[in-house]
């Protein structure tokens, strides 16, 4: 727990308790720890919540949802991620409100409800399943208001049915609060909350947002966006802030921003009347201050929970305290997380119980279905954990996944001649581990919507394959975490050498041929024949890219395979033709064991090629030392 104070808190006129997080990315597996963080620290989080002059807010700056349309739940195949994730958001709000009420009653010495509200600003991943289905999910969450300041409501038909910006609507462009003074009951303190979403939907979700019009709509990634790209957003925020400040000069303005730190700083500089910016999208965990504005970055994946207390003093000044709770410190034991009654306790409404019943279903999906065994050796070369280094360097996880996809895709009709499978590494968002559940497996290829994860296959010449790989490497050298590398099943690339040559200012075609190799029939990597044809399989997400040359050159040749990465990988694990075996029957020391839907088990040898270097991102001499 880290505490930051501008000055010691003393007498007050009103208080705002804020609980904030962002970029949960559908990680419902760790939500019990988030609940417990709130339960354990409720007295500090919801201080003075019994007083009429205290308002408690939960603000989420986006991307609680990810890949909303994805299916794959073993015991509920018709459930989507939206079904699961919206119910965990509902539970989070219910738990939070209940804890605020407990503190209020304890402080008051009698039952007394706390003033509590929950606000949400969509992030780019929220729209992975389309705008209409997102709004259906958000609209079904009790006690939640969605704030979207930088949209054009007149051109956003998907929001028409929700009476956008009308009184008591669950979807608004801003929300205002009146907070009574703790001494002068005739005096009110005013708060306005705004919410902005990064408008680059044509980049993050091309073709998926059909009935919502964002101001500044564009197809740029955030790293390439600047002030000129968000003029409409700045104008919309400024207009709201100026009107509010004109009526309430000492009023407080909070901006929930799923824009990333760089763009949030631009808004701060252009609209100085904002007091707090709660920032998502960039995944940082920092608080910065300039002038009268604080920017609080909210992390990712339920790693932290940030609370901010704003105390309005009698003279109108604002005292501020923020606390960062490390959620993992409040992780519950297995027996505690299995206790469904913990979450239902205190809720007697039958309709509510039905709404959150899906939690039971999720718990049934939490049972381990995968294990990775290592017999006969203390050294395990197969580290299948996920780290962001997968975006620019060699990864045994990526090697295994691409090899598994290649092994499986050739079993599909019409795909028997696929030579190479490629996966943009930003699509891989989760690793494999002993005890992995269905949920863990659904997270593996969770970095893109299911629509853009559709695999297509087509033929390219050897020269085109070299150009595809080098163009991607060139982008990755420019920004190794944002322009992510493509991981290949049967291509080896010496990224290290190509980067040296690029910085020297001279990469020849011969250099490319020597440093981009393809696997031959003997299993060894050799130079690519520029005149030979290769059939590659890769997702729609790559083929629709228009910020580089090669996708447009080859996309017309690529046809649907009928599967996504997730579906193909699950077919690999579930494959019926693979006989049920006993682990001791496998000759190799390294196996992946999987419990199929019908309860049988398969034990699959791990291909030794997963431990090879397919992306060389360091000197070969260093790699040889590591291998020895």
pLDDT of 586 strictly over 50? no
CATH number for the domain that contains residue 27 = 3.60.21.10
Report which listed range, 76-80, 86-90, 415-419, is most confident.
415-419
Q: Are 284 and 402 found together in one domain? A: no
Q: Are 128 and 24 found together in one domain? A: yes
Model confidence band, residue 625 (pLDDT cutoffs 50, 70, 90): very low
Q: Are 375 and 347 found together in one domain? A: no
- pLDDT at position 213: 95
Asked whether 590 and 606 are in contact (CB, 8 A), the reply is: yes
Q: Are 305 and 391 found together in one domain? A: no
Q: Are 226 and 344 found together in one domain? A: yes
- pLDDT at position 368: 87
Which residues make beta-bridge pairs with 145?
119
Q: Are 358 and 407 found together in one domain? A: no
Higher pLDDT, 69 or 473: 473
- How many residues comprise the chain? 628
Euclidean distance between CA atoms 589 and 120, whole angstroms = 49
Domain that holds residue 200: 2-362
Strand, coil or helix: 74: coil
Token readout for 201 is 């939907």
What distance lies between CA 140 and its chain's CA centroid?
Answer: 21
Q: Are 295 and 220 found together in one domain? A: yes
> Per-residue pLDDT averaged across 567-581, rounded?
75
> Per-residue pLDDT averaged across 315-329, rounded?
90
Q: Are 207 and 311 found together in one domain? A: yes
Whole-model pTM?
A: 0.83
Higher pLDDT, 335 or 272: 272
Of 325, 344, 362, the last residue of a domain is 362
Of 362, 379, 411, the last residue of a domain is 362
pLDDT tens digits for range 555-564: 999 999 999 9
Asked whether 230 and 263 are in contact (CB, 8 A), the reply is: yes
- pLDDT at position 608: 80
First to last CA, the chain: 43
pLDDT of 379 strictly over 60? no
> Per-residue pLDDT averaged across 372-390, rounded?
73
- pLDDT at position 404: 94
- pLDDT at position 88: 86
Backbone phi, psi, residue 542, to 5°? -75, -45
- pLDDT at position 113: 95
**pLDDT > 90 fraction of the chain, expressed in percent and rounded:** 61
Q: Are 106 and 212 found together in one domain? A: yes
Q: Are 314 and 348 found together in one domain? A: yes
> Per-residue pLDDT averaged across 366-394, rounded?
78
Asked whether 382 and 610 are in contact (CB, 8 A), the reply is: yes
Q: Are 438 and 572 found together in one domain? A: yes
> Per-residue pLDDT averaged across 58-70, rounded?
93
Euclidean distance between CA atoms 169 and 162, whole angstroms = 7
> Per-residue pLDDT averaged across 204-227, rounded?
90
- pLDDT at position 339: 42
- pLDDT at position 537: 98
> Per-residue pLDDT averaged across 510-535, rounded?
95
The count of domains in the chain is: 2
CATH number for the domain that contains residue 421 = 3.90.780.10
Token readout for 437 is 């559940």
pLDDT tens digits for range 266-317: 999 999 999 999 999 988 888 899 988 999 999 999 999 999 999 998 887 8
pLDDT tens digits for range 400-458: 999 999 999 999 999 999 999 999 999 998 899 888 888 888 889 988 888 889 999 99
- pLDDT at position 188: 92
Q: Are 326 and 393 found together in one domain? A: no
Of 329, 362, 395, the last residue of a domain is 362
- pLDDT at position 450: 82
- pLDDT at position 1: 58
């Amino acid at each position: 727990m880290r505490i930051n104070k501008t000055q010691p808190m003393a007498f007050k006129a009103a208080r705002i308790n804020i609980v904030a997080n962002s970029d949960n990315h559908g990680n419902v597996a760790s939500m019990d720890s988030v609940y417990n963080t709130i339960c354990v620290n409720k007295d500090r989080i919801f201080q003075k919540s019994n007083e009429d002059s205290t308002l408690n807010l939960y603000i989420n700056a986006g991307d609680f949802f990810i890949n909303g349309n994805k299916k794959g739940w073993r015991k509920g195949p018709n459930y989507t991620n939206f079904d699961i994730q919206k119910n965990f958001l509902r539970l989070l709000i219910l738990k939070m409100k209940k804890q605020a009420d407990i503190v209020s009653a304890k402080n008051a010495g009698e039952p007394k409800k706390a003033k509590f509200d929950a606000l949400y600003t969509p992030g780019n991943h929220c729209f992975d399943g389309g705008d209409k289905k997102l709004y259906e999910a958000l609209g079904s969450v009790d006690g939640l208001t969605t704030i979207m300041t930088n949209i054009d409501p007149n051109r956003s038909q998907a929001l028409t049915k929700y009476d956008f910006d009308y009184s008591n609507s669950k979807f608004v462009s801003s929300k205002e609060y009146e907070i009574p003074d703790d001494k002068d009951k005739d005096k009110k303190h005013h708060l306005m909350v705004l919410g902005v979403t990064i408008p680059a939907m044509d980049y993050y979700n091309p073709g998926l947002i059909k009935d919502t019009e964002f101001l500044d709509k564009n197809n740029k990634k955030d790293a390439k966006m600047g002030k000129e790209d968000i003029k409409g957003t700045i104008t919309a925020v400024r207009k709201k802030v100026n009107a509010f400040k004109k009526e309430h000069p000492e009023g407080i303005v909070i901006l929930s921003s799923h824009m990333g730190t760089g763009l949030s700083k631009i808004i701060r500089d252009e609209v100085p009347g904002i007091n707090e910016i709660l920032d998502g999208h960039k995944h940082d965990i920092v608080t910065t201050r300039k002038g009268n504005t604080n920017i609080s970055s909210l992390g990712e994946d339920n790693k932290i929970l940030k609370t901010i207390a704003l105390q309005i003093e009698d003279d109108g000044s604002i005292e501020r305290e923020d606390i960062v709770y490390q959620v993992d410190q409040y992780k519950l034991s297995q027996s505690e997380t299995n206790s469904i009654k913990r979450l239902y306790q205190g809720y007697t409404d039958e309709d509510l119980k039905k709404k959150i019943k899906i939690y039971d279903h999720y718990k049934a999906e939490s049972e381990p279905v995968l294990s990775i065994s290592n017999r006969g050796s203390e050294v395990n070369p197969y580290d299948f954990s996920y780290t962001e280094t997968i975006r620019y360097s060699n990864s045994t996880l990526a090697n295994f996944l691409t090899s598994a996809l290649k092994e499986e895709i050739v079993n599909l009709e019409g795909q028997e001649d696929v030579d190479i499978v490629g996966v943009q590494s930003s699509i891989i968002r989760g690793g494999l581990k002993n005890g992995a559940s269905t949920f863990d497996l659904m997270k593996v290829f969770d970095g893109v919507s299911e629509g853009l994860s559709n695999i297509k296959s087509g033929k390219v010449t050897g020269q085109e394959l070299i150009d595809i790989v080098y163009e991607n490497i060139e982008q990755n050298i420019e920004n190794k975490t944002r322009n992510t590398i493509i991981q290949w099943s049967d291509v080896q690339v010496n990224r290290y050498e190509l980067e040296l040559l690029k910085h020297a200012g001279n990469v020849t075609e011969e250099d490319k041929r020597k440093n981009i190799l393809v696997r031959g029939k003997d299993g060894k990597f050799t130079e690519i024949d520029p005149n030979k044809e290769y059939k590659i399989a890769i997702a729609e997400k790559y083929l629709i890219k228009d910020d580089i040359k090669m996708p447009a050159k080859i996309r017309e040749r690529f046809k649907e395979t009928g599967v996504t990465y997730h579906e193909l990988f699950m077919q690999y694990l579930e494959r019926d033709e693979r006989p049920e075996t006993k682990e001791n029957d496998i000759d190799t020391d390294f196996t992946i064991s999987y419990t199929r839907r019908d309860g049988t088990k398969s034990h699959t040898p791990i291909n030794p090629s997963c431990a090879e270097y397919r992306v060389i991102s360091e000197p070969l001499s260093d790699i040889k030392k590591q291998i020895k």
